[in-house]
Structure 1
């Protein structure tokens, strides 16, 4: 528990122009309003835990402006559904639904909320390893169906988000570094490159954190 994924930390550096020299100009899934603009630097979001060890309640703050952008609500262990809400309106913008959160090969669906029709946006499969988990997301929505898979290497203190497989020259589009506390709330610092849907990466980051917490709870 608590070890960095040094294989990726020492070789994967996040840059503002990560997508500019690729055939994939943007990663748009949840909505235009959530994509980091190309005329800005990469965006850092602070995902602050608001509840218990296994809780799903977080506050997501822009590290630069200190504006609260999103809140997450729900607990995978109980209701098997997690929602990301727009902090200004309190309206859900995306839902993460679990099929088998505790299995060796867990799977999840990322969908629009029920009041918007519940459209499936991405399917995620999870593989658990000794020190980390791999989440592989297949884009289903029309706006991103042409993209390669989103691959997340998720440890307890850091995560790396690749468009395409890292072993096959996948592009690093996001990185998370966590401050963990035995007493008090944790904070995950998520950096998202321009052209990428930040709300999508926040949702997957919170989900990946659930997966790691599950593994740590069952191996203690």
Structure 2
């Protein structure tokens, strides 16, 4: 049975023009699928479970910061995700095409599992918000919680996928998003955690397993 999440009291999104189009109108399950022939190993397509594409991500092979560009369906950049250096904890940021910060994700490992805190200025209120993402990657799942309300606004769970969703050895993951939440925000969080979890492992999509 598909996971259903309650709607958030007010919209939560990053401050970019595509956010309005990517607000989940109902509980949505997003599929993140690696491109097998990608030279960087970090490029992938993002679609709804129905198969409708919504975004795509292009990794940069030669970027020191591991920069990845998230693009809309017209191949226009929405934001870049990159690693920020000189931090005690692994820190990643999403910046718009002009270099303005949209999101910061700081991650750390627990004895069992991983956790990360994402902070951003909500496009719809102008207030700073934070999400906490934690889970046991050996159990293939993680919850994303809105710290202000304690509501679960997202969930990663590979077990939601059917066999036909996993082809040719592709890394493929399911991300469930609550109504009223910017789907690109949730995707950005997942990509940041993927980067952290795959440091020294040779890459792959959302290395939570």
TM-score (normalizing by structure 2) = 0.77
What is the SS of the residue equivalent to 2:175?
strand
Matched, 1:56 2:42: yes
> 1:160 maps to which residue?
143
Give structure 1 stretches of 5+ with no counterpart.
Answer: 1-12
Matched, 1:33 2:15: no
Equivalents in 1 of 2:82, 2:91: separation in Å? 9
Task: Name the Cα RMSD after superposition.
Answer: 3.1
- My pick for the range that moved more, 72-81 or 121-130, is 72-81
Equivalents in 2 of 1:53, 1:155: separation in Å? 29
Q: How many residues align?
A: 189
> 1:126 maps to which residue?
107
Q: 1:141 to 1:148 in 2, by over 3 A?
A: closer
What is the SS of the residue equivalent to 1:176?
strand
Give structure 2 stretches of 5+ with no counterpart.
Answer: 203-209
Equivalents in 2 of 1:198, 1:131: separation in Å? 28
Matched, 1:175 2:161: no
TM-score (normalizing by structure 1) = 0.73
Equivalents in 1 of 2:126, 2:144: separation in Å? 18
Q: Mapping of 1:101-112 within 5 angstroms?
A: 105-112=89-96
**Runs of 4+ off more than 6 Å:** none
